[in-house]
Amino acid sequence: MIPIGPGQTLKFELKFAPKDVKPYNFDLPLTLFRYGKLPGLTRSIICRGVKPRFLVEPSYVDFHRKIITNVEKMYPLTSDIVLSNPEKTEVKWRLDESVLKDDKIFSIHPIRGRVDPG
26-65, pLDDT tens digit by residue?
A: 998 888 888 888 888 888 999 999 888 788 899 888 877 7
Residue 73: pLDDT band (50, 70, 90) is low
pLDDT score for 42: 86
pLDDT score for 103: 67
User: Of 61, 110, 45, 55, nearest to 87 (Cα)?
Assistant: 55
Q: Residue 29 falls within a domain, yes or no? A: yes
The residue segments making up the domain with residue 87 are 52-118
- Whether 47 and 26 map to the same domain: the answer is yes
Q: Residue 3 falls within a domain, yes or no? A: no
Residue 25: pLDDT band (50, 70, 90) is very high
pLDDT score for 37: 83
- Whether 85 and 107 map to the same domain: the answer is yes
Q: Residue 6 falls within a domain, yes or no? A: no
Structural domains counted in the chain: 2
Cα–Cα distance, 50 to 115 (Å, whole number): 19
User: Which of 51, 66, 93 lies at the terminal end of a domain, its last residue?
Assistant: 51
